[in-house]
Structure 1
Amino acid sequence: MIDPDLQLLFDTLAIDSTWGRERELAEFMAEQMRSWGVDDVELVESAPGRPSVGGRIRGSGGGKSLILNGHLDIYETSPDWTRDPFSPEVESGRVYGAGIADMKAATTAALAVIRRIATSDERPRGDVIFQGVSCHFEGGVGTRSLLDAGFAADAAICGEPTDNTIGTVHRGAAYLKITTFGKQAHTSAKEMGLNAIETMEPVLAAMRELEGVMPYTPHPDLPGGPNLNIGTIHGGTKHNQVPDRCEMTCDIRLLPSQDPYDVKLQVEQMISSLKTTDPRIEATVDFSDHWLSGPRLPYEIDRSSDISTTVAAAVTATGTAPVYQGIQFWTDMVPLKQFGIPAVNIGPGTPPYSWADEWVELAKYRQIIDIYANSVNLWCK
């Protein structure tokens, strides 16, 4: 018989909550919290058919409140899995399961802490709030919907995978869509058309050059400059038609000194410069709809902030020295900040975060439960 904390992790890993299918997991977590006697439990529709789940343990009074935030949605599983992604198992000190690193281990750890408190004889003075959010990959839509529904607090801890190091700073991102325009024609009369794929070619080359010349201020916790990935390109309809449209999407990961709106302007200026030497180029630059659903702004909070020092003390109480490390990806600390809630991040899991045969060290899962529990004790008194 396995212990309740590991069983809870097995239960959440067995539920397929692939991006867009979060409902079953949200309903499972809501049912569990109600069975434990959590005071306020609510399913909040963050998007049609995609609920987030909030739970609140009301404090006895006079203490500060704390959110434990984790997302339910996971990425699609790779066909390279050598084991069943939704039949979790432990092997050689690792727990395997789809989405365990990003980020079911941390989300379940937060839920395990909620169970500890709700089923104990003592209540902290401040409220403890669980946020199990859907639509994270849309840019924190689930977190914002739970905050709008009243599941807010004085501070928050997010649990994105950082190998149980404390993250107080992370990169932002600009998801851009560039479209070049031409004129359709048949191959036999191609001189009467304008090939939008061909006019996209200098744009692609210029984007790769732009990655190395964007202005930014180096950050000691985030080595290197901005990173650019050209993710998709689509153009044309048939092999014998001159394409009148070509669309490219890219992801540019930014430093805290950079602003996504400024980066978009830099790309527009780059294309204007290209047009002076090749007047055939007609192009538009837009943020993708996926970015607009939740702008991926950079985040930073001072290490000396109250929530940061509290979490550091919570780590120390587990017998481990706290380690601070910058986060290369985006987190829901941004929407929390936009609601006036300071946050830090700490959770188990290592790069590449989502991969075939995904795993988390069992010891790190157990440690993060203790870190979250210690944080509640220290913060909420």
Structure 2
Amino acid sequence: MHIDEQTALRTLRRMVQFDSRTETESESAVIDWVLAEMTDLGLETHRQEVGPDRYNAIGVWRGTGGGRSLLFNGHVDTNPLTEGWTVDPWGGIVDDEFIYGLGVSNMKAGCSSYLEAVRNLHQRGLRPEADVVLTFVVGELQDGVGTRKLVEDGWRADYFVNCEPTDVTAMTAHAGALTFEIEFVGDTRHMSKREEAADALAAAADAVPVINTMTFSNAADANAEHVNRAHVGVVGAGLGRDLLATRPPQVADVARLSGSARYGRGQTPESALADLRAVVDDVCRKHPGVRASVRPKNRDGGLAMDKPFFVDRHTPIVTALNNAYRTVRGADQPTGAIRPYCFYGSDASLLQHGAGMTGVVCGPGGKYNTMPNERVEITDYLDMIRIHQHTINTITGLR
């Protein structure tokens, strides 16, 4: 299907030029711009309040009757700015291969791709038979508060496409997430008598490589096993519960590890914690006198992004996406629990478990995600627009 490539690039450049770092005053400025763009297209628009001075943008391209409705989902908030950039993070710079910018991969290229897909179809005078719903949310990086609000206010469709960056692969499964903390408690001595001590730090240090290579029990299938991973990212140790660091000559009697677990269907936060406890207990047996506790650190209550996402690859939305990819690129689309993206969380989990919807995760960008000089390949972005158009045609019907 034909697209206006220059307009598509201008749209993405403009989105990048908004500094929409999560939970900042300027986060919703891009929302107002998107609402204006959708209004100009003649879409029904909604400015949905998420919190004080925070809004989602929702556009509805009303269908004529028939077909199956389709909802696109993406977030406009971005990660913080890191060191190491050599281009303007908000310049919307384009060269022969890439478009650069903070959040262009995660995930403004995805958001722009479905806006442009609808723009091009609309400008050709086409209409969907069923509704096409475009959602642009804030606060995905804060446990999905924007999409939570969509779900709570009753926004639904027959199918959804979440456009998180997957390098245009079809991700049909990704992990659930659990944040954990492990505390080791031993018995201190001066280093001159360390043989008499129970060294909490030594036990914690031994636990790290074991945790970082473990998998979890009760996986429902190969996909669930494929998304298993645990990682310790924070280590602290010292004297007492406050981890006092004023006495390096003494053996640490308290050490803490903080990390995250990723697990699939058939596995739960409770079963992952049980597996972690078994591993930690085994480490403690090698360090007499050291005891340990394992506890979750996830937020309490409400819908959670901690549940694994899964969709059968033979579901109509997946086959529609696969066929669209084959039409655009002349090859089979990689489909499944695609690494490394299957270790991420996404709002697809909220749409599936909170709204009861069936969908798939597919978007441009990924390999240059959340890094200095974040960028997206222009060909991937433009092909994503074409793939969305074909998917809309298959799911909703166009005339």
Q: TM-score, normalization: structure 2?
A: 0.82
**Deviation digits for residues 188-213 of structure 1, max 9, x if unmatched?**
9x99xx99xx4254144235324336
Taking the aligned partners of 1:51 and 1:248, their CA distance within structure 2 comes to 36
Does the 8 Å contact 1:37/1:119 carry over to 2? no
Give, in angstroms, the shift of residue 129 of structure 1: 0.7
- What is the correspondence of 1:179-218 to structure 2 with a 5 Å cutoff? 179-180=183-184, 198-210=199-211, 211-212=213-214, 214-215=216-217, 217=219
Give, in angstroms, the shift of residue 72 of structure 1: 1.3
Within the candidate set 304, 307, 312, 2:322 is matched to: 312
Does the 8 Å contact 2:217/2:271 carry over to 1? no
Change (3 A) 1:368 1:204: same
Taking the aligned partners of 1:48 and 1:159, their CA distance within structure 2 comes to 26
Taking the aligned partners of 2:101 and 2:281, their CA distance within structure 1 comes to 48
Taking the aligned partners of 2:273 and 2:94, their CA distance within structure 1 comes to 46
Taking the aligned partners of 1:134 and 1:317, their CA distance within structure 2 comes to 33
Q: Which moved more, 1:82-91 or 1:27-36?
A: 27-36
Name the residue aligned to 1:375. Answer: 391
Q: Secondary structure at the match of 1:230?
A: strand
Within the candidate set 151, 155, 161, 1:151 is matched to: 155
Does the 8 Å contact 2:106/2:366 carry over to 1? no
- What is the correspondence of 1:127-146 to structure 2 with a 5 Å cutoff? 127-146=131-150
Taking the aligned partners of 1:291 and 1:237, their CA distance within structure 2 comes to 29
Q: Are 2:15 and 1:12 equivalent residues in the alignment?
A: yes
Change (3 A) 1:139 1:29: same
The residue type equivalent to 1:230 in the other structure is: V
Name the residue aligned to 2:331. Answer: 321
Give, in angstroms, the shift of residue 65 of structure 1: 0.9
Give, in angstroms, the shift of residue 178 of structure 1: 2.2
Taking the aligned partners of 1:2 and 1:334, their CA distance within structure 2 comes to 32
- What is the correspondence of 1:334-349 to structure 2 with a 5 Å cutoff? 334-338=349-353, 339-349=355-365
Name the residue aligned to 2:114. Answer: 110
Give, in angstroms, the shift of residue 139 of structure 1: 3.2
Does the 8 Å contact 1:26/1:43 carry over to 2? no
- What is the correspondence of 1:348-363 to structure 2 with a 5 Å cutoff? 348-363=364-379
Change (3 A) 1:118 1:213: closer
Does the 8 Å contact 2:305/2:346 carry over to 1? no
Q: Are 2:100 and 1:96 equivalent residues in the alignment?
A: yes
**Deviation digits for residues 97-138 of structure 1, max 9, x if unmatched?**
111112111111112234345556442111111111222223
- What is the correspondence of 1:278-297 to structure 2 with a 5 Å cutoff? 280-289=289-298, 294-297=304-307
Name the residue aligned to 2:346. Answer: 331
Give the CA RMSD over aligned residues. Answer: 3.3
The residue type equivalent to 2:142 in the other structure is: E
**Identity between Structure 1 and Structure 2 (%):** 24
Q: Which moved more, 1:136-145 or 1:342-351?
A: 136-145
Change (3 A) 1:180 1:221: closer
Name the residue aligned to 1:260. Answer: 269
Structure 2 gap ranges (5+): 238-242
**How many residues are aligned here?**
375
Q: Secondary structure at the match of 2:262?
A: strand
The residue type equivalent to 1:131 in the other structure is: T
Change (3 A) 1:289 1:51: farther
Change (3 A) 1:28 1:245: farther
Does the 8 Å contact 1:75/1:354 carry over to 2? yes
Q: Secondary structure at the match of 1:84?
A: coil
